[in-house]
Amino acid sequence: MKLITWNVNGIRAVERKGALQQLISEHAPDVFMVQEIKGTPDQFSPFLTAHEAYHQYYSSAEKKGYAGTSIWIAKALARQVGETAFNTVVPDAPNADEGRISHLCLEKDRKTWDLFSIYFPNGGKSEQAWKEKLVFYDRVHDYMNALRQKGHRVIVGGDMNVAHTEIDIARPKENDGKIGFHPKERAWMDRLVEDGWADTWRERNPGITDVYSWWHMISRGRDRNVGWRIDYFLMDHAEMYCIEDVAYLNDQMGSDHCPLSLVIH
């Protein structure tokens, strides 16, 4: 099963550029997780709502042109598994009206897979937004644990809006303490790891530097590879054996983020 997560920063814009069509054609993910769709299905083209190869589910923000997530599943895979999609509201998490979570539940070989496309808050708008971001982190962590305790296999993909360590950001000293590289955010990632959750790419690529998933567009950060690694696939460390490949698709254009691909068996 190939999964791809991508913060598209506006799904209609990426479609107009032809970048979304390119990704689907070249990589053909079985499950495609999308963040920052910035729209509602009634605004979308048939490619985005009635694709011949995918069932497509959307969780849109109440605020127009803001946030939102999506998750697509290949119809070929759906025929092999039991499939249920949810616009999940994580218990006690803030930002419930922003469409930040799309949840696909698959049943195969008597196992339950919970696949999440999540757009974590930025937290930079106000002190309240910052506090809500930290609560959102903790509530998602609690929910992941609750599903794992039920025996479910959990995969979370998305834009987590935090660079974990100094090698996950091009300029750590200049950004130390700033939102996105704040000790409290990084401590959340520490707690995940201590709790047995794996940052799949980093686990497979320890010590590798200069690999990022987001770049500041106005300063042409991507041209200079001055970026942040803030897009992840998380899963139970005990399930890491099933990973065949995990890679950032740095050549894929169309957004200020690049996609991340995960292949599991």
128-163 pLDDT, tens digit per residue, is 999 999 999 999 999 999 999 999 999 999 999 999
> So what's the pLDDT on residue 82?
77
The pTM (predicted TM-score) of the whole model is 0.96
> So what's the pLDDT on residue 88?
65
Kindly list the structural domains of the chain, giving each domain's residue range(s) and its CATH number in brackets, ordered by start: 2-264 (3.60.10.10)
Measured between its terminal Cα atoms, the distance across the chain in Å is: 6
Residue 235: burial class (beta carbons within 10 Å; 0-12, 13-18, 19+): buried
> So what's the pLDDT on residue 87?
65
**What is the distance of C-alpha 258 from the center of its chain?**
11
- State yes or no: is 159 an active-site residue: yes
162-171 pLDDT, tens digit per residue, is 999 999 999 9
Q: CB of 110 within 8 A of CB of 152?
A: no
- Taking alpha carbons only, the member of 121, 115, 154 closest to residue 137 is 121
> So what's the pLDDT on residue 263?
98
Name the stretches of the chain with pLDDT < 70.
86-89
**Which one of the listed residues 30, 114, 159, 199 is annotated catalytic?**
159
